[in-house]
Every structure is written in structure tokens, then in C-alpha cells.
């Protein structure tokens, strides 16, 4: 069995092609040298706001905390009366047990979608039936999107078929909800493995679904490098099949400058059609206020203290 699996891995890798680590990191370093000024900066910042999946994934989450998150998500900027036109964020991201609370807070027709992590997030170490039941429960409670984790154990053991079949099963359980497949890049470690896992997911997904870097629950999260490898995979898959899959880096993106750099990677790799929250998201909890702070700086020419923004976690 093990020999068969090794062969499967090698064949798959050969088919999708390897990734050179040094080359990827050199490529993404160039994005950081782009200089985004004035109108372009305002556009980029607003675009980033509209792409945020405002997230709370904690054991101590309550309906009160989720209600606060939802209010902030709908109207991120409380100064928005003067036509600055700051859009709502794309979605709130919560545990399945909080989906109903989020739906109550947002109402039935909110522009802000409800994403729920499911499938025994973050480890995924539960029987498939349990994971699928969790997905159905979240969708039933009103989730528009499901963020699943792949079976990293099966992946690292070389059992690709199982990884893929589980993704298909979750996809079917999602029904009309969009699916985001979390690869948990830090547990895959190599860019070769990230590219391979990307394709395993991409080939099972529907237009409007996403692949996503990480859970945010491990030491290393989204980086420009793994973002790039996944964008490259999305591009290759799109050009080969015509199926456009979205991308969501998650965890570790805290500053507006980082977010703009990720967006430049999108612009230069996938082009204009991916510069929308239907195809690109940021999974983040503290990014939003830094985006607002930068927007406010562009508007007034001065930086405001963090406590001037609602829901600030770093007030002083």
C-alpha cells in the first residue's frame, strides 16, 4: 500500500510540477517593493475592507461577542456618514455554534455573509460522519459559507484519494453554501506539498468555492509565499479547466501594508477578475481596523490613535 501511495504522490507531483522555494520567495519579495499611493491606495484599502472575513474563533465566544462582530462587519467605519464610502466586510467567520447568533444579528438579507468553520476545525480529527454532520448543522443554522480543513494526516500519509473524496463529501454536504478548503499550509511544510494539496482541492471544487491557507491556529499562517503558490495553482487550474476558484489567506495578516502586498500578488498573478470579494478574501481579526486607520489617514492626512476606532483591541 505504502509503495502504491508513494507512486501516487510522485505521479501527482510530476503532473502538477514542482515549486522552487528560493524562486517563490524572490518573486514575492518584489511585490513588497510596489509603491501604492493616493487614489490607488484608497482603492486598494477599500477593496481589502470588502474582502475581510471578520473572524472570531475562540472557546470564549458568546452571542454578545458575535453580535458585536456582526455590527462592526456591517458598518466597519463609524465615521462613514460623510460619504467616505467604506464598504461592509465580506463575511463574518464563526464556529458552527455561533452561526444562529450571527444570523440573528445580521438578519436574513445582510450584505455580510456568514462563514462557519466546520469539519472538526482546526484539527479535523473526527470521524467523517461527525464532520459532515457539523457542516449540515452549520448550513442549517444559516451559514452561507463553510470553511473546512483537509485531512492532513491522510495527505502526509500519501492517501490522496481519501483527501479528495472527503473534500467532495463536504462539498456535497454544503449544498448551496460556498466551500473554502483549508490546506493548513504550515502542517504541509513544503511548497511542493502546498501545490499538490491545492490541486487536490481545486479539482473537487465548484466555481465560487475557495482554497484557504490556514486555520490561524498553528504557529505559521498565511505568507506571501504560500499565497503565491496557491494563486499559481488557481491560475493553472483556471486556464486548464475554465473553473475559477477563489483564494483566502488567513492568519497573520494584521496590517494594511501586508494586505495591499497580498492584493498586488493577486493583481499580477490572476489579474483583475480576482480583485473582488467573490474570489479573494482575507481571514483576519485585527486587519480591519488598520485598514480603516490607513483610510482615515488618506482622508485627513493624519494617523488616528487606535482607540479612535470601534472594537479596537489595542487601545491604550
Partner 1 sequence: MPSAPARSARRRRTPTAPELIFGNLWEFDPSPETADPKLKAQYDLFIDGQFVPARRGARFTSINPANEKALAEVALADESDVADAYAAAARAFPRWSRLPGAERGKYLFRLARLLQDRAREFAVAETLDGGKPIRESRDFDVPMAAAHFFYHAGWADKLNYAFPGARVVRPLGVVGQVIPWNFPLLMLAWKLAPALATGNTVVLKPAETTSLTALKFAEILQEAELPPGVVNVVTGAGVTGAAVVAHPQAAKIAFTGSTEVGRQIMRATAGTGKRLTLELGGKAANILFDDAPLDQAVEGVINGIFFNQGHVCCAGSRLLVQESVVDEVVARLTLRLRSLRVGDPLDKNTDVGAINSGEQLARIKRLVAVGVREGATLYQPPCALPPKGFYFPPTLFTGVQQSHRIAREEIFGPVLSILTFRTVDEAIEKANNTAYGLSAGVWTDKGSRILKLSTELKAGVVWANTYNKFDPASPFGGYKESGFGREGGRHGLADYVTLS
Query: Which amino acids are annotated catalytic?
Result: 147, 212, 248
- Subset of residues 188 to 227 that bind partner 1, contact rule: CB under 8 A: 206-209
CB neighbourhood size of 203 (10 A) = 15
Verify binding: residue 35, partner 1, rule CB under 8 A: yes
User: Residues 151, 198, 223, 277: which binds partner 1 (CB under 8 A)?
Assistant: 277
Strand order in the sheet with 178-182: 246-248, 210-212, 178-182, 145-149, 113-117, 91-94, 52-55, 282-284
| Footprint on residues 71-100 left by partner 1 (CB under 8 A) | 90-91
Contact 54, 72 (CB under 8 A): yes
Identify the residue among 263, 284, 287, 292 touching partner 1 (CB under 8 A): 263
Per DSSP, 285 falls in state S
Sequence-ordered list of residues with C-beta below 8 angstroms from that of 31, at least 6 positions apart, any chain = 224, 261, 262, 264, 265, 268
127-166 footprint of partner 1 as x/- string (CB under 8 A): -----------------xx---------------------
C-alpha cell read off for 138:
452549520
Q: Binding to partner 1 (CB under 8 A): which residues in 99-118?
A: 111, 113
- In this chain, which stretch among 120-128, 217-225, 261-269, 303-311 interacts with partner 1, using CB under 8 A? 261-269
Q: How far is residue 82's CA from residue 75's CA, in Å, rounded to a whole number?
A: 13
Residues near partner 1, by CB under 8 A: 17-20, 22-24, 26-27, 33-41, 43-44, 47, 90-91, 111, 113, 144-145, 176-179, 206-209, 232, 235, 238-239, 241-244, 263, 267-273, 275, 277-278
Amino acid at each position: 500500500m505504502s509503495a502504491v501511495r508513494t507512486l501516487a504522490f510522485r505521479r501527482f507531483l510530476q503532473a502538477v510540477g514542482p515549486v522552487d522555494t528560493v524562486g517563490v520567495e524572490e518573486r514575492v519579495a518584489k511585490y513588497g517593493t510596489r509603491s501604492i499611493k493616493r487614489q490607488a491606495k484608497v482603492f486598494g484599502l477599500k477593496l481589502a475592507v470588502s474582502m475581510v472575513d471578520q473572524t472570531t474563533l475562540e472557546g470564549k465566544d458568546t452571542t454578545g461577542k458575535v453580535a458585536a462582530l456582526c455590527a462592526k462587519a456591517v458598518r466597519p467605519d463609524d465615521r462613514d456618514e460623510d460619504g467616505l464610502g467604506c464598504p461592509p466586510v465580506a463575511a463574518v467567520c464563526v464556529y458552527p455554534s455561533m452561526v444562529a447568533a450571527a444570523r440573528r444579528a445580521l438578519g436574513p438579507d445582510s450584505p455580510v455573509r456568514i462563514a462557519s468553520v466546520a469539519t472538526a476545525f482546526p484539527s479535523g480529527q473526527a470521524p467523517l460522519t461527525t464532520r459532515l454532520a457539523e457542516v449540515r448543522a452549520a448550513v442549517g443554522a444559516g451559514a452561507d459559507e463553510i470553511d473546512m480543513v483537509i485531512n492532513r494526516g491522510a495527505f502526509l500519509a500519501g492517501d490522496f484519494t481519501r483527501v479528495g473524496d472527503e473534500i467532495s463529501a463536504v462539498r456535497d454536504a454544503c449544498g448551496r453554501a460556498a466551500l473554502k478548503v483549508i490546506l493548513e499550509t504550515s502542517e504541509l511544510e513544503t511548497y511542493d506539498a502546498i501545490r499538490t494539496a491545492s490541486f487536490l482541492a481545486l479539482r473537487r471544487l465548484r466555481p465560487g468555492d475557495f482554497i484557504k491557507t490556514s486555520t490561524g491556529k498553528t504557529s505559521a499562517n498565511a505568507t506571501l509565499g504560500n499565497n503565491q503558490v496557491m494563486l499559481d495553482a488557481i491560475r493553472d487550474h483556471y486556464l486548464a479547466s475554465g473553473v475559477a476558484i477563489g483564494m483566502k489567506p488567513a492568519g497573520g495578516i494584521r496590517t494594511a501594508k501586508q494586505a495591499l502586498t497580498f492584493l498586488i500578488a493577486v493583481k499580477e498573478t490572476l489579474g483583475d477578475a480576482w480583485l473582488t470579494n467573490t474570489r479573494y478574501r482575507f481571514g483576519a481579526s485585527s486587519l480591519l481596523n488598520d485598514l480603516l486607520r490607513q483610510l482615515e489617514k488618506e482622508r485627513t492626512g493624519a494617523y488616528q490613535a487606535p482607540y479612535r476606532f470601534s472594537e479596537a483591541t489595542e487601545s491604550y
